[in-house]
Amino acid sequence: MLVFKLEMNKAQKILLGLNLLIGVLILLIYLRPPNSSRVVSDSTIIPNRNDCEYGVFDYNYDVYVVKPGDNITSVANNKLGDIKRAGEIILLNKSKYPTLLTRPEYLERNWALKLPPLEFVINSERQMITFKGHIHENSSDHFRVSVTEKSSNTHIYDSKNTSYLLNGIKTVKQQIPNGACFEADIENTGRLVNSIREIRVTNVK
């Protein structure tokens, strides 16, 4: 009987020790100091928004200077790889060179033509804008982001037709993490919700 009682006391001590160890581990987890990065998964570390760059600036279109013998289709073919994109060049430059609407094949030497990005098609005159900021929400059809350090100053952008780059590699929307710093191109439509054409997230491991 005495031996059995001693064995019970030993088991109780082991159990008590294990409970204490678990309690200490839980306490350490909750009391650990905040880190500058937030872990999303085993392989994904999101930069803190304080590390983000913020700002909005005009899209930097490439410019082509017209040479003798050029026409609108040759420029589209040589610079964009597709003569069908000549219409985009006209849309981007018709305000500066109105004759493009009446005589699209006539180009004057030294005209400086804005060229649309290779990555996506311009189907209107709306100005493309690039901005940097911090992702607050990545839902099924939009992003909520801030472009200033004030996290309360957020904007919603349509993402139905967005292309995604993560560390320079094309990816899917699900791989763009909340909390990440980003750079994006939007179509400035003047509406409350603008459309993001491409969003680029970097420094996510």
pLDDT tens-digit readout, 125-146:
667 788 899 999 999 899 999 8
Together in a domain, 138 and 180: yes
- Structure token digits, residue 18: 């294990």
Asked whether residue 157 is assigned to any structural domain, the reply reads yes
Asked whether residue 19 is assigned to any structural domain, the reply reads no
- pTM of the complete model: 0.53
Together in a domain, 131 and 181: yes
Q: What's the CA gap between 65 and 111, in Å, rounded? A: 6
Asked whether residue 78 is assigned to any structural domain, the reply reads yes
Together in a domain, 82 and 131: no
- Structure token digits, residue 181: 């710093």
For 113-125, the pLDDT digits (tens) are 999 887 667 777 6
User: How many residues does this entry show for the chain?
Assistant: 205
Q: Are 115 and 63 in contact (CB under 8 A)?
A: yes
Together in a domain, 88 and 153: no
Together in a domain, 51 and 136: yes
Last residue within a domain, chosen from 115, 137, 157: 115
Q: What's the CA gap between 115 and 117, in Å, rounded? A: 7
Q: What is the chain's pLDDT, residue by residue, as a tens digit (205 residues)?
A: 444 444 556 667 676 766 666 765 665 555 544 433 333 333 355 677 778 999 877 777 889 999 999 999 999 999 999 999 999 999 999 999 999 999 998 999 999 999 988 766 777 766 778 889 999 999 989 999 988 887 677 888 889 889 999 999 999 999 999 999 999 988 776 555 678 989 999 888 7
Q: Are 183 and 145 in contact (CB under 8 A)?
A: no
Q: Is 162 exposed, middle or buried (0-12, 13-18, 19+ CB in 10 A)?
A: buried
Domain count, the chain: 2
Together in a domain, 91 and 151: no
Asked whether residue 10 is assigned to any structural domain, the reply reads no
Together in a domain, 108 and 167: no
Together in a domain, 83 and 141: no
Q: What CATH number does the domain containing 90 carry?
A: 3.10.350
Q: Please give the residue range of the domain that contains residue 97.
A: 62-115
Together in a domain, 150 and 96: no
Together in a domain, 103 and 131: no
Asked whether residue 11 is assigned to any structural domain, the reply reads no
Together in a domain, 147 and 195: yes
Query: Which of 45, 23, 24 lies closest to 35, judged by CA?
Result: 45
Query: Which of 65, 137, 144, 149 lies closest to 107, judged by CA?
Result: 65
Together in a domain, 87 and 145: no
